[in-house]
Amino acid sequence: MTVLYFAWLRQRVGAGAETVSPPPEVTTVGALMDWLAARSPGHAAAFADRGRIRAAVNQEHVKPDAPVRAGDEVAFFPPVTGG
């Protein structure tokens, strides 16, 4: 699946996008965050404060219990500040 990072998450991870293949037990957005956080110190820093992170799957806002599947586009970002 493709994972995208925006704003300070992107800065902490050190990349705006990556392709990942999590193990089959990673079936939700929340579980994916746990799995990604272990990839590097930068990832851990990005995911340290879950309250400040929002997610989208296939370009739709979702909650942490939303499912993720192979082939999905999952994005992590801070609460939005447009307008």
Partner 1 sequence: MSVRVQSEPFDPGAALAAFTAEAVGAGAVVSFTGHVRDEGGRLTALTLEHYPGMTEREIARWVETARERWPLIAVQVIHRTGRLTPGEPIVFVAAASAHRAAAFEAASFLIDLLKTQAPFWKLEEGAEGARWVEAREADDAAAQRWR
Give me the residues that bind partner 1 (CB under 8 A), please.
4, 6-8, 56, 59, 61, 75, 77-83
Q: Which is nearer to partner 1, 19 or 38 (by Cβ)?
A: 19
The CB-of-55 to partner 1 minimum distance in angstroms stands at 11
The CB-of-12 to partner 1 minimum distance in angstroms stands at 11
The CB-of-8 to partner 1 minimum distance in angstroms stands at 5
Q: Which is nearer to partner 1, 24 or 59 (by Cβ)?
A: 59
Q: Which residues 6+ apart lie within 8 Å of 82 measured at CB?
A: none
CA–CA dist 24, 11 (Å, integer): 28
CB atoms inside a 10 Å sphere around CB 24: 6
CA–CA dist 45, 23 (Å, integer): 22
